[in-house]
């Protein structure tokens, strides 16, 4: 059996300020911790490599956040050097970094490219000033246009742009205009997310207090369907519920998650899935730095930053393979791969749920009965479908 290739997620929990809808593990006004945090990241990577006892094959690296573009390019380069020294990093590894327009410069992007980053993901969110204001974003659309132009000048050939739809008071026409404008920037990849109102965020408070209308689910579904049709007609592959790519540009890092394959997570609050365990790191950057000051050896895949490690049952792994795999709208869950991995055919494991969801028009087999996939209706009701596979 070929050795498993890992993906590596690096969490960067710093932002200039908090956006109104955000409940990610990120902190404003802690940028002074960045040097110590980068040192801690390198130590945690060293601990993981040592605990593994051999150089693990790594084929994707993803700097996510937070705002990883707040890291100086030299710091990103140091982290990548540590990875190259302690892991078997593939020569063609996909190395992604999330960036916010307004936190990048042409020189900084050139330095990131020289350090080895080969994919950027910009949080554009909208082309309309009213949407950006409502979301509490720190940039305007002209800044996003300039950032994308600089990324191209710096040599990036693989760009993702994130957009959010279904905002309170956002009309369909405004969303359509955003998509059309952003297509004009010629990205290779688009992630389009429906707004979810996260409890405790300023945006949720405004809606709960009646200052803003609640998001309209039917309108959000219409926005999603319109964008999907528009992008497919333009030659985009709709490969995951919220992700579209030009041919050959599906995000390899995120495919690792959706295929339920192993990944290592380093940094504050990072999650990992390796050796049959799900791990979670300590949440705050201060506690994270403290834990890495005098690191104690722990058995793989734990590190001194791990605060939770749960061994998964086969039932858990099968359920996660279904819930993640069905997000892949074209690939779906391959019956042969499932049977090979778990030693049991899909229909035997889910004798009631699959026929019922097929009958309800939410799931469908492909013509050769090799792949199980969401239908167009199932895509709109994804969370409801996934629940049917919970152990």
Least CB distance to ligand SF4 at residue 135 (A): 8
Least CB distance to ligand SF4 at residue 191 (A): 13
Write out the E strands in the chain: 6-12, 14-15, 27-28, 57-65, 88-99, 119-125, 159-165, 189-194, 237-240, 243-245, 263-266, 271-274, 277-281, 306-311, 333-334, 363-365, 371-374
Nearer to ligand SF4, 67 or 170 (CB): 67
Of 7, 60, 67, 303, which lies in the binding site for ligand SF4, with binding defined by CB under 6 A? 67
Least CB distance to ligand SF4 at residue 312 (A): 28
> CA triplet 142, 61, 137: central angle to 5 degrees?
25
- Residue 184, helix vs strand vs coil: coil
Other C-beta atoms closer than 10 Å to the C-beta of 383 total 8
Span from 18-26, 242-250, 259-267, 309-317 in contact with ligand SF4 (CB under 6 A): 18-26
Nearer to ligand SF4, 19 or 120 (CB): 19
Tell me: does residue 123 bind ligand SF4 (CB under 6 A). Answer: yes
Nearer to ligand SF4, 168 or 262 (CB): 168
Tell me: does residue 365 bind ligand SF4 (CB under 6 A). Answer: no
CA-to-CA distance for 211 and 55, rounded, in angstroms?
54
Tell me: does residue 18 bind ligand SF4 (CB under 6 A). Answer: yes
Tell me: does residue 134 bind ligand SF4 (CB under 6 A). Answer: no
Tell me: does residue 147 bind ligand SF4 (CB under 6 A). Answer: no
Nearer to ligand SF4, 18 or 110 (CB): 18
Closest CA to 160 of 232, 250, 68: 250
Least CB distance to ligand SF4 at residue 233 (A): 30
Tell me: does residue 15 bind ligand SF4 (CB under 6 A). Answer: yes
Write out the binding residues for ligand SF4, residues 87-116 only, by CB under 6 A: 100
Of 24, 193, 342, 365, which lies in the binding site for ligand SF4, with binding defined by CB under 6 A? 24
* Contact of 240 with 273, CB cutoff 8 Å: no
Nearer to ligand SF4, 16 or 252 (CB): 16
- Residue 120, helix vs strand vs coil: strand
Write out the binding residues for ligand SF4, residues 332-361 only, by CB under 6 A: none
Nearer to ligand SF4, 123 or 187 (CB): 123
Tell me: does residue 65 bind ligand SF4 (CB under 6 A). Answer: yes
* Contact of 224 with 172, CB cutoff 8 Å: no
Number of shown-chain residues binding ligand SF4 (CB under 6 A): 11
Q: Which residues are CB-contacts of 190 (< 8 A; sequence separation ≥ 6)? A: 160, 161, 163, 182, 231, 236, 243, 244, 245
Least CB distance to ligand SF4 at residue 370 (A): 38
CA-to-CA distance for 352 and 356, rounded, in angstroms?
6
Q: Of how many residues is the chain composed? A: 391
Tell me: does residue 19 bind ligand SF4 (CB under 6 A). Answer: yes
Nearer to ligand SF4, 19 or 159 (CB): 19
Least CB distance to ligand SF4 at residue 164 (A): 9
Nearer to ligand SF4, 27 or 300 (CB): 27
Which structure tokens are listed for 84?
Answer: 């190259």
Query: DSSP string of 310-341?
Result: EEPPHHHHHHHHHHHHTT-TTT-EEHHHHHHH
Least CB distance to ligand SF4 at residue 10 (A): 14
* Contact of 282 with 288, CB cutoff 8 Å: yes
Binding residues for ligand SF4, rule: CB under 6 A, are 15, 18-19, 22, 24, 26, 65-67, 100, 123
């Amino acid at each position: 059996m070929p050795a498993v290739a890992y993906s590596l997620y690096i969490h960067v929990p710093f932002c200039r300020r908090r956006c109104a809808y955000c409940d990610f593990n990120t902190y404003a006004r802690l940028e002074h911790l960045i040097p110590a945090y980068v040192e801690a990241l390198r130590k945690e990577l060293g601990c993981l490599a040592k605990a593994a006892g051999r150089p693990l094959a790594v084929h994707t690296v993803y700097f996510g956040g937070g705002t990883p573009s707040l890291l100086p390019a030299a710091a990103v380069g140091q982290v990548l050097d540590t990875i190259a020294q302690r892991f078997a990093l593939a020569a063609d590894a996909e190395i992604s970094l999330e960036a916010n327009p307004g936190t990048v410069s042409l020189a900084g992007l050139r330095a990131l490219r020289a350090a080895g980053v080969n994919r950027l993901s910009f949080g554009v969110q909208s082309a309309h000033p009213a949407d950006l204001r409502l979301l509490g974003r720190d940039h305007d659309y002209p800044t996003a246009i300039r950032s994308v132009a600089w990324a191209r000048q710096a040599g990036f050939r693989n760009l993702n742009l994130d957009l959010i739809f279904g905002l309170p008071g956002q009309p369909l026409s405004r969303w359509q205009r955003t998509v059309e404008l952003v297509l004009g920037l010629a990205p290779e990849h688009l992630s389009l997310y429906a707004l979810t109102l996260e409890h405790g965020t300023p945006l949720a408070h405004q809606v709960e207090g009646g200052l803003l209308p609640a998001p309209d689910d039917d309108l959000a579904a219409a926005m999603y369907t319109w964008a999907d049709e528009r992008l497919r007609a333009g030659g985009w592959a709709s490969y995951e519920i919220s992700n579209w790519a030009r041919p050959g540009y599906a995000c390899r890092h995120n495919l690792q998650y959706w295929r339920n394959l192993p990944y290592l997570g380093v940094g504050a609050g990072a999650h990992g899935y390796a050796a049959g365990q799900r791990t979670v790191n300590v949440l705050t950057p201060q506690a994270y730095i403290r834990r890495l000051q005098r690191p104690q050896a722990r058995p793989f895949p734990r590190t001194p930053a791990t605060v939770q490690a749960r061994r998964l049952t086969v039932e858990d792994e099968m359920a996660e393979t279904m819930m993640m795999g069905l997000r892949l709208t074209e690939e779906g869950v391959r019956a042969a791969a499932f049977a090979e991995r778990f030693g049991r055919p899909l229909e035997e494991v889910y004798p009631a749920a699959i026929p019922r969801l097929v009958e309800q028009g939410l799931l469908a087999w492909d013509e050769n009965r090799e792949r199980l996939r969401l239908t167009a209706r199932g895509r709109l009701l994804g969370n409801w479908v996934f629940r049917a596979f919970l152990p």
